[in-house]
Structure 1
């Protein structure tokens, strides 16, 4: 079979739409993203593959064909059977009926005999309700089951022969097991009487197939090893014994733990006391055998049910116990503690928190779930649909005087229970399943409205924050109109002085209808609240600015809201602030770009001389280390250059031959020296023969350095003093330190004389001219003293490197040097701004929110009534020009310099242009 080919994304999406519509019409369930052994299966890819091979029936009709399909799909061959059957089941459940309808143009079998049964068997196009008999465990058969992981339809059942039908010992044929051979009975000579037994006839045979099972079982079983001298009769009787054998049933053992101080200390202590009392002669308590005393042998409900029942009991002490444990459970086990597993828990917590109203108002709210209860009094809340006039009802009830400085013990205890119940609700709705569950709970919405409209006192601050946290989690599953009590209560929090309440309220309002198809239009927001939000964006508070911009983004997406904004709020300061926020947290970065490619310096024509102050260091080394260090000082790797072996060998000899008599270190032979070149530079340098009219023996892969380097990689300083005043030829001496270069110029070029104390004789009466390359000093007025020239020469030399504190001055450590012959290309630096980005390097944070709000304004300003009125007025200026013309230059700057916002700024400027 050919390996599967990947699906085209466009074809895949079209195919999945048709397949989903087909399953919906057929009334079956489609699994769009099935997985087999952890690997996702592309249904279009699988469909095309099976159809190309002839279809489901053809593949299923070939033994082990599905295993070959699984192998082509990349499943390991060492355990191919399970994924083969799973792959077959995926096609069977999702694509088999679709193949029959679309490819073969036939009516597929009903789902009762197709999708509702397993994928065993084949012949789908010929399967009907009359001829189909489920195979294996589906039909209750025990003797011809096909393996669920075989990848095919199993091994066909072996035909029974007549002996198997008769004897019964081989009557049970199982898949994969061979028939047991007949038992061998060794020949035993007859030692007793030849008289046959009373119960068994000498000519008894196994019952024929016509005998019924009752007659078959009525026969007496033979006793002893043999009943006749006929071996065949003995074999038949033995087969009967084996066929009728039934194993003795096993009874489970009853295990009782031994009472020890470790596993049951209380019972162990009780028994010890009983034994001690018996030894002391004390009267023993009477035994009540058969009577289970109350409270014994029953552990009671688990802690979850116990807390639920205690909370619903109404008993103050029990509720203390329940709320204490519920807070702990919701905090530690919140990821597994779900409301749907404990019916009534959410309602009980809501009713408990609702008791807070009776502490501040003359009211005792109760939740009613029937029409009769709802009509029973003004204190009843609608537990089915909610109470739309809850705020009006609260306003009608008189407030109670509560001293916010001193609380009574009863008030403090009740508030503690109420806060614990609210905290439990808050912790549990942090789980998405619980938030979705309670979003349909109408009393909870009434409760949040009640709590958010409690008096502004310190005792309810904690409770209000819990209520806002709950609202933040559930508003994404709710849709509000502008008259909804909870929506009005959340908007009222925007007038608060509490930063936490404002921040959570903004988040809750911005999340309204997030998980629903209905759009949140944010109708009825007061102008004072909008002005507060605009003012809060001026604060240096990142979290608050995020929440305000999220609100403004959703608010400005509606044309009517933008119209309201233009009529009631000054929008120019808002636009200016949003433009400033485009650079929030921006940092400047630079990046260099090469204008051309790096260049190469031509190789020198001759080998540079070894620095004089470096030669003593090399002389001390033994071979071949000395030659290796010499090579690194004067040569470097270059795959495009080469040097003749004779020139290299002669330079080596010229450098170290004069030192042989002084040091006693002999030179390497020529052959060993050439080998050492490859050892020093690795495989990049190799001895070769250059073909031509005259063959040359060269070393390919190295070149002469323009300037030698030291043992640690530091570059030597060359003397750039001209040999003659009008000659371009320079002194070719190199030194490892500026002091040595200075000393060399004074002595070799200026004729200075160094004293024994290291000082120089300051000569007079002679004119000194600086012949350093490019220097024009002392050209017209030469120096008259050597001291004057010596001070001037230091200008051309680099300063002496200063060692770090605590570190001795010395050469830097050896490092990988950049090839000296590479000339870096000219580069140009570009500066740009970088603002916050996400993991995908896309814009994020406050700058992104700011540009999205600006884009909403640019798109919707031209659609407002205020824009039409401005254009109709005499000399009127459109709102788009009024708001964006003053900042247009800044917007182009942000688009140019901020890479992460470029796409969004382009959309904004396009919207401004099209408005």
Structure 2
């Protein structure tokens, strides 16, 4: 983003972009009929409109910035508007964007039609919500008056559903402090008691000004001491400074006045008409004005905005006027969605009943009925269309079946039908949003007319136009059933079970959740009796589907259902339970992940030190012969020895081995070897951490090097181990030569052990013969020898070491001792299924094992099991669980998250 206007000049590309933007913005304002200022000022700063526009867009736009606390003040700081009176300057910056750029943002960025200038540019920039501002929902700020029904500026005010925050001083006033009530309240300014001038009044003002001096620091301290209501007036102490106080008096700084236009018929016809109408009604010239004047009542439109939006919607919904009810439902949908956590039925008595009355109007759309609610104590219901509001209508399903049905075409609806059904859907959606709050769900769970409506809605004709309403009814039932208890004859319970025969996945899923939650928050148990056989069979079949939500809902139902012995007896009597057991066993591994764990067997141990020094490879000796002393001896020591604080080697043996290896080279080249004494010192310096020259006491004293040991395999300068040739040529002893390069080892085997002839190009002649692999432990070609050398050559490659470059990648900075043999390891694989935050089993596998556990515990208690034991038949526990016991033990062994639950299941099977 280009920087704001500073002392440095912006780039040419930014200037060109800014000019193009201002040109488009000017054309936009000309079409809109608003004033355009390309270079506005805020305080003493010029504001770059292009930079301001891009800055606000980067933060989400005007509405997002206005909703964020103190966001415009932060922008004011970014634009270097100064710290003096920053709230007023920040509001002035907001006003610049509001009048110059807000409508352009709505049209170009959001692609919407901006509000008219009468409710945008011609009004103050206080507040936000420009994207949703319309002529219907926007009310300009007026004088605040409170009444008995509520406060317009309360948290619940405003048709737009957005609470407002009041301000003590208008941010429109440049000189005001702009303090908002969301901050801390400021203490009132302290007052200084008036001190009369005790000096002579004949002193001229010129003389007084000439002889007056600024007060001293002591006087300033005295004047700035404790003041206010707690200060006592002391003439003796204050009279001395009275003249200085008056002489140093400075008037308050001037504050520019806020000018507002006078409302006249010319500049504001609508405002003038409202004033005239209010004046006529106050004088008694309007209709019915005499009684209003006598009672001093303030009517809406004359300075009083009426009740807040909540009370307005409640009164409109209960008024019985169609237009008012449409207005109420339109706003209740928005309020219940945006403020569902604060909107409670307890705070608005009658709201729930009014919504239910609106919902019951759905019956008149499909049947010749007009449902009415009766709250008579005797429970009398004069006709079929009267519902019992106190105890519920037990025969509501029978009444629905007897109602004459209207002929409704699902393809073409009348305007009145569509509008009525839309308003009923809005009332259902409002109820659904509000019962998501637990307090509201508990409140309406005791309203029996709502239960009757749910039964009516779930039994409406199977038409496409009522699908939305049925889903809203199911969502409501899902939130309410946790506070309800049903018997098998309850109409709502029967209606929920009937949804299990539907082909609508959403209806099935929601009804299963609602049934599984019955009496969840009550002390009495949920027995789930009276479930049809077809419904249970459908639930068992749905376990085969690859639908996680549906399978989880089915398992929750089965867990509640199988917890009752009577239900288990019903299942094994009327259904085939063996497929259910197989599916539950399959679901134990749902979503399982295989994890490999490493298990160490035993402890690492140390190999014994070799008796002889390892032979030096030829390629390593060639590298050592190129070095000078003492570097040659240091590298030779590192290649054939390593540190070990528990081992030692005699000095003479080490020196003789070194001398025997390099004496021929020294005689040939004339470069002498390191003397014995220097060689021993070099050993201690090479292995400085652990090695040291010592004298071993005993019958015969020995000079040893303590802290080093011989390597069984030599290493090169980088610490990589050489690889030994294990080809057995003479007797049973392997060759024993060391190689680093696999190609050289291959050539060594072909040339020295197989007697192959190497050609001038480096390749070997493919001769014919009987070739057998003599690598230690290999039995290849022993039974059927290779007929050609090339066949054995291809096989030899499997015994060769990896290239040095590949082996070097696995080396650490400090190699581990080669004599330490790590403990053997065993790699175990086990399964992990879904777990919760406490690393406990969760999800479908947990639900499946709990259903199995319920079956294992309750099968032995059923009457069918007792009859089978009397007749000597195989018990149901063995019949169902014996075939799957191996799988259960497998899950117990490999699934750690289900271990505890599988053990409980196996214990229940054993006890049964």
TM-score, length-scaled by structure 1: 0.59
Picking from 862, 865, 873, the partner of 2:863 is 865
SS of equivalent residue, structure 1 residue 407: coil
Mapped pair 1:821 → 2:819: yes
CA distance in 1, matches of 2:473, 2:657: 90
Deviations 1:304-341 (A, max 9, x none): 44443443344444444433333333333333433333
CA distance in 1, matches of 2:465, 2:652: 99
Mapped pair 1:538 → 2:530: no
* Aligned counterpart, 1:740: 744
Asked if 2 retains the 8 angstrom alpha-carbon contact of 1:373 and 1:380, the reply is no
CA distance in 2, matches of 1:840, 1:355: 49
* Aligned counterpart, 1:855: 853
Asked if 1 retains the 8 angstrom alpha-carbon contact of 2:859 and 2:865, the reply is yes
How far 1:405 sits from its partner (Å)?
Answer: 0.9
CA distance in 2, matches of 1:223, 1:802: 100
Mapped pair 1:512 → 2:518: yes
Asked if 1 retains the 8 angstrom alpha-carbon contact of 2:587 and 2:845, the reply is yes
How far 1:458 sits from its partner (Å)?
Answer: 0.7
| Structure 1 residue ranges without an equivalent (≥5) | 1-220, 227-237, 239-252, 261-266, 276-283, 804-808
Mapped pair 1:434 → 2:440: yes
CA distance in 1, matches of 2:670, 2:427: 95
Asked if 2 retains the 8 angstrom alpha-carbon contact of 1:714 and 1:812, the reply is no
Asked if 1 retains the 8 angstrom alpha-carbon contact of 2:313 and 2:331, the reply is yes
Deviations 1:580-608 (A, max 9, x none): 44444455566564554344322233443
CA distance in 1, matches of 2:502, 2:791: 82
How far 1:614 sits from its partner (Å)?
Answer: 5.1
Asked if 1 retains the 8 angstrom alpha-carbon contact of 2:637 and 2:683, the reply is no
Asked if 2 retains the 8 angstrom alpha-carbon contact of 1:557 and 1:860, the reply is yes
How far 1:870 sits from its partner (Å)?
Answer: 3.4
- The within-5 A match list for 1:663-702 is 673=682, 677=686, 685=690, 687=692, 689=694, 692-693=697-698, 694=701, 698=705, 700=707
Deviations 1:607-657 (A, max 9, x none): 435544456777899999998877665555656545678877887888899
Relative to structure 1, is the Cα distance of residues 775 and 372 closer, same or farther in structure 2, using a 3 angstrom cutoff?
Answer: closer
Asked if 1 retains the 8 angstrom alpha-carbon contact of 2:373 and 2:449, the reply is yes
SS of equivalent residue, structure 2 residue 410: coil
* Aligned counterpart, 2:506: 500
Deviations 1:345-381 (A, max 9, x none): 3333322222222211222223344549965654343
Picking from 571, 585, 597, the partner of 2:577 is 571
SS of equivalent residue, structure 1 residue 859: helix
- The within-5 A match list for 1:11-30 is none
Relative to structure 1, is the Cα distance of residues 790 and 565 closer, same or farther in structure 2, using a 3 angstrom cutoff?
Answer: closer
CA distance in 1, matches of 2:632, 2:549: 67
Deviations 1:390-414 (A, max 9, x none): 2233233222111111122222222
How far 1:793 sits from its partner (Å)?
Answer: 8.5
Asked if 2 retains the 8 angstrom alpha-carbon contact of 1:595 and 1:827, the reply is yes
Asked if 1 retains the 8 angstrom alpha-carbon contact of 2:581 and 2:880, the reply is yes
CA distance in 1, matches of 2:439, 2:672: 86
Asked if 2 retains the 8 angstrom alpha-carbon contact of 1:862 and 1:880, the reply is yes
Mapped pair 1:904 → 2:901: yes
Relative to structure 1, is the Cα distance of residues 318 and 690 closer, same or farther in structure 2, using a 3 angstrom cutoff?
Answer: farther
How far 1:738 sits from its partner (Å)?
Answer: 1.1
Picking from 552, 555, 559, the partner of 2:561 is 555
* Aligned counterpart, 2:11: none
Relative to structure 1, is the Cα distance of residues 743 and 315 closer, same or farther in structure 2, using a 3 angstrom cutoff?
Answer: same
How far 1:509 sits from its partner (Å)?
Answer: 0.8
Asked if 1 retains the 8 angstrom alpha-carbon contact of 2:340 and 2:437, the reply is yes
Asked if 1 retains the 8 angstrom alpha-carbon contact of 2:365 and 2:417, the reply is yes
How far 1:547 sits from its partner (Å)?
Answer: 1.9
Relative to structure 1, is the Cα distance of residues 550 and 288 closer, same or farther in structure 2, using a 3 angstrom cutoff?
Answer: closer
CA distance in 1, matches of 2:705, 2:751: 39
Picking from 718, 721, 731, the partner of 1:726 is 731
* Aligned counterpart, 2:363: 357
Asked if 2 retains the 8 angstrom alpha-carbon contact of 1:725 and 1:771, the reply is no
CA distance in 2, matches of 1:777, 1:319: 94
Stretch moving more, 302-311 or 633-642: 633-642
CA distance in 2, matches of 1:775, 1:743: 19
CA distance in 2, matches of 1:769, 1:560: 77
How far 1:514 sits from its partner (Å)?
Answer: 1.0
CA distance in 1, matches of 2:804, 2:900: 51
CA distance in 1, matches of 2:702, 2:571: 91
CA distance in 2, matches of 1:883, 1:538: 19
Deviations 1:451-498 (A, max 9, x none): 111111111111111111111122111111222221111111111111
Deviations 1:3-22 (A, max 9, x none): xxxxxxxxxxxxxxxxxxxx
SS of equivalent residue, structure 2 residue 730: coil
How far 1:445 sits from its partner (Å)?
Answer: 1.6
How far 1:299 sits from its partner (Å)?
Answer: 4.5
How far 1:429 sits from its partner (Å)?
Answer: 2.2
Relative to structure 1, is the Cα distance of residues 313 and 639 closer, same or farther in structure 2, using a 3 angstrom cutoff?
Answer: farther
SS of equivalent residue, structure 1 residue 384: coil
Relative to structure 1, is the Cα distance of residues 592 and 814 closer, same or farther in structure 2, using a 3 angstrom cutoff?
Answer: closer
* Aligned counterpart, 1:146: none
SS of equivalent residue, structure 2 residue 855: helix
Asked if 1 retains the 8 angstrom alpha-carbon contact of 2:381 and 2:387, the reply is no
SS of equivalent residue, structure 1 residue 574: helix
Deviations 1:635-686 (A, max 9, x none): 556565456788778878888996999999999976985576467xxx6x46
- The within-5 A match list for 1:321-720 is 321-371=327-377, 378-586=384-592, 593-609=599-615, 611-613=617-619, 633-635=639-641, 640-641=646-647, 673=682, 677=686, 685=690, 687=692, 689=694, 692-693=697-698, 694=701, 698=705, 700=707, 703-710=709-716, 714-720=720-726
CA distance in 2, matches of 1:257, 1:663: 106
CA distance in 2, matches of 1:257, 1:903: 79
* Aligned counterpart, 1:136: none
Count of matched residue pairs: 640
Asked if 2 retains the 8 angstrom alpha-carbon contact of 1:360 and 1:401, the reply is yes
Deviations 1:721-765 (A, max 9, x none): 56x72373x55532221112233455666787866643568999x
Relative to structure 1, is the Cα distance of residues 530 and 606 closer, same or farther in structure 2, using a 3 angstrom cutoff?
Answer: same
Asked if 2 retains the 8 angstrom alpha-carbon contact of 1:835 and 1:900, the reply is yes
Relative to structure 1, is the Cα distance of residues 696 and 529 closer, same or farther in structure 2, using a 3 angstrom cutoff?
Answer: same
Stretch moving more, 653-662 or 703-712: 653-662
CA distance in 1, matches of 2:741, 2:458: 81
SS of equivalent residue, structure 2 residue 867: helix
Asked if 2 retains the 8 angstrom alpha-carbon contact of 1:614 and 1:735, the reply is no
Relative to structure 1, is the Cα distance of residues 533 and 647 closer, same or farther in structure 2, using a 3 angstrom cutoff?
Answer: same
Relative to structure 1, is the Cα distance of residues 776 and 583 closer, same or farther in structure 2, using a 3 angstrom cutoff?
Answer: closer
Asked if 2 retains the 8 angstrom alpha-carbon contact of 1:510 and 1:550, the reply is yes
Deviations 1:517-571 (A, max 9, x none): 1001112212222222222223333322222222222222222222333333333
TM-score, length-scaled by structure 2: 0.59
Asked if 2 retains the 8 angstrom alpha-carbon contact of 1:635 and 1:705, the reply is yes
CA distance in 2, matches of 1:445, 1:617: 95
